[in-house]
Structure formats: C-alpha cells, structure tokens
C-alpha cells in the first residue's frame, strides 16, 4: 500500500479504532520486519549522573527538586559496568545524564576514549544541549551517536516546558551533530499537558523531516515533585494512543532505530515494552546503571527495574525478546541510513 506521508495520514492513524487499529499495528510490525529485520538491538543504559542545572517542568531530576540525592558515578565504576556488557548481548552503551558539568567535557571525552579502546561497544551519549566544540571533541574521542529529544514540536509548548532552552536551540544541536557525522537520535513525549492530537501528529512529521537515525518516544508521566504533579497525561483516558503514536511513527520512519522505551513499562507494567516491540520498535535499552544509584534517577514515577541489578535486567531482556520470538541483534546496530548514504 502506498501512502502520502502528510498530516492527514498521521491523524488518520492516530484516530484508528477497531479493525483499523489492528491493521495499523499489523502494518507497523510488518514494515519493521521488512526494514529492520527481526533482530532486537540491546543497548544498555548507564545513568551516570543525575546532576542537572535545568528546570524542565516535567522532569523528576530538575534542578529545583530538593528531594533528589545527587550522584556522579566514578569512571572506574562505569568501566567495570561496560566491561560486562558485551558478554550479555549488549553491543552499545548509552551514557545518559542530566545537563551539567558533573564530568568536565575533557574527562568525559577521556571516558569515551577508554570505552572505545577497552571494549567493542558502540558509544551513544545523551547529556543535553552542548556547544559544537564539545560535540566535535567527543566525536573525535569515539562517540558514535547522540540522543537529544525535541520533546514537542510546538515552540510555545516547548518554551513553557523548558524555561532554560528554546526549541530552535535543541533543533540546532541535532543539526550540528548531523554535520559532524554523529548518528542523531531525537523524539518526544506523548501527552504532555497542553498537547493536542494536532501537535502529536506534528511531532511525528518533525521526526520524519529531521531524517533521524534513532527515534525515542514514550508517554509523559506526571512526577509528584514537579510543577506538573497535578496534571494528567493528555491521553490518560485512552492509553492506546501511546501505541498508535509508535505505530504511526514507524510508518513515517521505516528505517529508523526505534526503542521500546522504559516509560511504556511504567504505564503497562511488565508488558509495555514487549507490546512496543510488536508495534514498530526494534531496540531495547535495559537499565545498566549500578543498582545503588537507580532510585535516584527517577525522571517519572513508576519507573521499572529500580530494585533490579544490571545482571537481572540483562537476563530479563534476553528472555523477553525470546518470548516474542525475536532474535538478538549482533554487531553494533549502527544506523542503516548512514550505510545507504
């Protein structure tokens, strides 16, 4: 079936019910199989610091939240963790943190270099808006990919949610990363307060326009220690919308790596990420943060895997992938867009 990838098509998918909805899920799953195969890439995520100087309204580790115990995981401990990863089917490490100088730019570059020299892992970083020179230096140190979500495509809503940043600045980071030859990932939250179906459709369209290598999306979940504590997800009464967004996202971005993000499990405990893998996603990012830090990195409440260890998550994810008859991705799982360029 051929489609024109316009807003009308996106809105039709997002409004699907009954038979149309089953067809949408089936189409997204079969397109994923065609373009990305049945392999699920496992990318272990280490939340290496929760120190952040920003005050994003939705985020549990925002600077203004005094209830958070702040931490920075020492380099040696990160190295000990990454050394375990290849043995557990993990071919990429994702290093995520708040936006801060928890590590200096140079120390962090040296850490990337060590991981690249001492292991076979691909390195993805997710540490917010940084100047071009910093991205370039980290790329020279071996950084393969960078994740930075635009969160919402509506500039006014973006500004309301992010007192410290403009949408144009965020998009410029993506532009710079692309120019530097770093594989670029972005995405958005589904259902932030003030989001309309129109904005959700525009979010999906923007992902396509940006020609992203990786796209992460997940439901917004109100955190009690934030200014949005009393708000509800815009689709609280229709949580099917989270999967519709994911399936439509796949149709619009056939060859992007799309993870089944952790927030899907927060909304549908024990099965959200599996369902996401069956409705368009092809990547799983198990929590590889050393156990003692996990409870302090709660961007939203109900986050799974807080009481588990890296080892438990690593085994759990393998079992989950097997349970839905999929295979484990081998090799680094680089962007297939870059290959075809």
Rounded to whole angstroms, how far apart are CA atoms 54 and 165?
9
Residue 51 main-chain phi, psi, to 5 deg: -75, 135
List 94, 299, 313, 321, residue binding ligand 5AD (CB under 6 A): 299
- Give pairs for 100-105: CB < 8 Å, separation 24+: 100/49, 100/51, 100/52, 100/53, 102/48, 102/49, 102/51, 102/72, 103/48, 103/49, 103/72, 105/130, 105/134, 105/137, 105/138
Rounded to whole angstroms, how far apart are CA atoms 35 and 154?
30
Report DSSP letters for 203-272, one per residue. Answer: HHHHHHHTT-SEEEEEE----TTSTTTT---TTTT-THHHHHHHHHHHHH-TTSB-EE-HHHHHHSTTTH
Q: Which is nearer to ligand FES, 48 or 150 (CB)?
A: 48
**Is residue 184 at the binding interface for ligand 5AD, with CB under 6 A as the rule?**
no
Q: Which is nearer to ligand FES, 200 or 285 (CB)?
A: 285
Nearest approach, Cβ of residue 304 and ligand FES (Å): 6
- Give pairs for 229-237: CB < 8 Å, separation 24+: 231/193, 232/193, 233/190, 233/191, 234/191, 234/192, 234/193, 234/194, 234/195, 234/196, 235/190, 235/191, 236/191
Candidate ranges 38-46, 113-121, 222-230, 313-321; the one touching ligand FES (CB under 6 A): 313-321
Q: Which is nearer to ligand FES, 96 or 186 (CB)?
A: 96
Residue 287 binds which entry of ligand FES, ligand 5AD, none, with Cβ cut-offs from 5 to 8 Å by kind? ligand FES
List 305, 318, 321, 328, residue binding ligand FES (CB under 6 A): 305
**Is residue 161 at the binding interface for ligand 5AD, with CB under 6 A as the rule?**
no
Q: Which two tokens stand for residue 210?
A: 């940006």
**Is residue 207 at the binding interface for ligand 5AD, with CB under 6 A as the rule?**
no
Candidate ranges 6-14, 25-33, 213-221, 302-310; the one touching ligand 5AD (CB under 6 A): 213-221
Candidate ranges 47-55, 84-92, 207-215, 309-317; the one touching ligand FES (CB under 6 A): 309-317
**Separation of CA 43 from chain center:** 11
Identify whether the C-beta of residue 285 lies closer than 8 Å to the C-beta of residue 36: no
Residue 46 binds which entry of ligand 5AD, ligand FES, none, with Cβ cut-offs from 5 to 8 Å by kind? none
List 136, 149, 244, 273, residue binding ligand 5AD (CB under 6 A): 149
Candidate ranges 71-79, 110-118, 217-225, 327-335; the one touching ligand 5AD (CB under 6 A): 217-225
Q: Which is nearer to ligand FES, 46 or 317 (CB)?
A: 317
Subset of residues 267 to 286 that bind ligand FES, contact rule: CB under 6 A:
286
By the criterion CB under 6 A, which residues form the site for ligand FES? Answer: 286-287, 305, 308, 312-313, 316-317
By the criterion CB under 6 A, which residues form the site for ligand 5AD? Answer: 58-59, 149, 151, 189, 218, 220-221, 223, 263, 299-300
């Amino acid at each position: 079936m051929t489609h024109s990838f316009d807003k009308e098509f996106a809105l039709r998918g997002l409004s699907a019910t009954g038979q149309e909805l089953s067809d949408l899920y089936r189409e997204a799953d079969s397109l994923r199989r065609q373009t990305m195969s049945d392999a699920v890439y496992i990318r272990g995520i280490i939340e290496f610091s929760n120190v952040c100087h920003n005050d994003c309204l939705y985020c549990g580790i925002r600077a203004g939240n005094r209830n958070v115990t702040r931490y920075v995981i020492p380099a040696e401990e990160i190295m000990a963790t990454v050394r375990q990863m290849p043995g557990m089917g993990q071919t990429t490490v994702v290093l995520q943190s708040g936006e801060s100088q928890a590590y200096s730019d140079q120390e962090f570059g040296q850490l990337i270099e060590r991981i690249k020299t001492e292991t076979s892992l691909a390195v993805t970083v997710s540490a917010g808006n940084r100047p071009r020179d910093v991205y370039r230096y980290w790329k020279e140190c071996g950084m393969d990919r960078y994740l930075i979500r635009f969160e919402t495509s509506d500039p006014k809503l973006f500004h309301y949610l992010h007192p410290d940043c403009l949408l144009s600045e965020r998009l410029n980071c993506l532009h710079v990363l692309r120019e530097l030859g770093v594989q670029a990932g972005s995405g958005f939250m589904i259902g932030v307060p003030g989001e309309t179906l129109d904005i959700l459709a525009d979010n999906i369209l923007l992902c396509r326009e940006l020609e992203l290598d990786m796209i992460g999306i997940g439901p917004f979940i109100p955190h009690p220690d934030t200014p949005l504590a009393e708000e509800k997800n815009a689709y609280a009464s229709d949580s099917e919308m989270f999967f519709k967004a994911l399936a439509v996202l796949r149709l619009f971005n056939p060859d992007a790596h799309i993870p089944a993000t952790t927030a899907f499990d927060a909304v549908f405990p024990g099965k959200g990420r599996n369902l996401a893998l069956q409705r368009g996603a092809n990547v799983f990012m198990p929590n590889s943060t050393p156990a003692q830090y996990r409870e302090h990195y709660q961007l939203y409440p109900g986050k799974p895997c807080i009481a588990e260890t890296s080892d438990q998550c690593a085994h759990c994810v393998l079992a989950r992938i097997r349970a839905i008859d999929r295979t484990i991705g081998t090799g680094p799982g680089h962007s297939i867009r870059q290959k075809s360029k």
